[in-house]
Structure 1
């Protein structure tokens, strides 16, 4: 038995495409940036230190006193010596008066002369520090330093630039070179 057969043959479409690619360019210009830093304000205030040295007692210990003070001191010493001289002469006069007429004669005057001019005993020996310890008085008033710093913030100016874009669309164009076709044959 002969069964009819269907034979189908196809022809595909063939296209010729012309493609223009798209073009895109993006450019980002740098931002405009300006930075400035103002200098800080520095203020320094000082008070001077003070050093006071009082050497009056040291000069007195060395025998160098103010003129007025030396005059008073020497006047007082002269007064004391004159009073001690007067009392010595009075006591010598009394001594001569008591021994007068008792047959001593020159012996009284010799005794008085020995009392006044005999050998002096050496006094106590000791070390004396000149000037005396603590005779120079030192007073220090410390100085002060105040530092004030005023910080100034930086100045920043930024200008952002927009991106520059260039875009060209792509195109696709085509034409059919071979048309599609379907052929059906029945055999048999």
Structure 2
């Protein structure tokens, strides 16, 4: 099977590539250090599988998985991450990801998971299965957008202008967000949403 590795940490990417190449039935046909590069390689090399880190520059692993699904590219996707966050996991499932594994798993486990996924199965790390029971994201798309902008330090006036809303409407959204997240203030709301992987 042909595999592309997308991981922004060079040392880890190199180690994974070297170890996977020792497997007789796995060929690493490309390595990417960011999500944009991963998409280019996927289109060029047409791999069977793509192993994606979540937190990468330019495009996250989840952005890449969503793009693969949107473009109907026949490439199975596996997320390998250090983050056992409910929001990330739920987004990955929506994007049609076939594997969701933690980085601290041994490479032999990753190779075995890739084989299962290649033959049509789905592999989810047991620790991550618990996140299915966690609460789902209570924020609407618009509320997430406003919270992301608050996280960047944009003011109510700036958000209102950029989203073509009145300042009063933006304040109402913020108050609704704080209620839903039981947050003490805006900074607290951003921190809660980020810790659960509900905004990125």
Instruction: Normalising by structure 1, report the TM-score.
Output: 0.15
Structure with higher Rg: it is: 1
Highest RCO, 1 vs 2 (Cα 8 Å, sep ≥ 6): 1
Larger strand proportion, structure 1 or 2?
Answer: 1
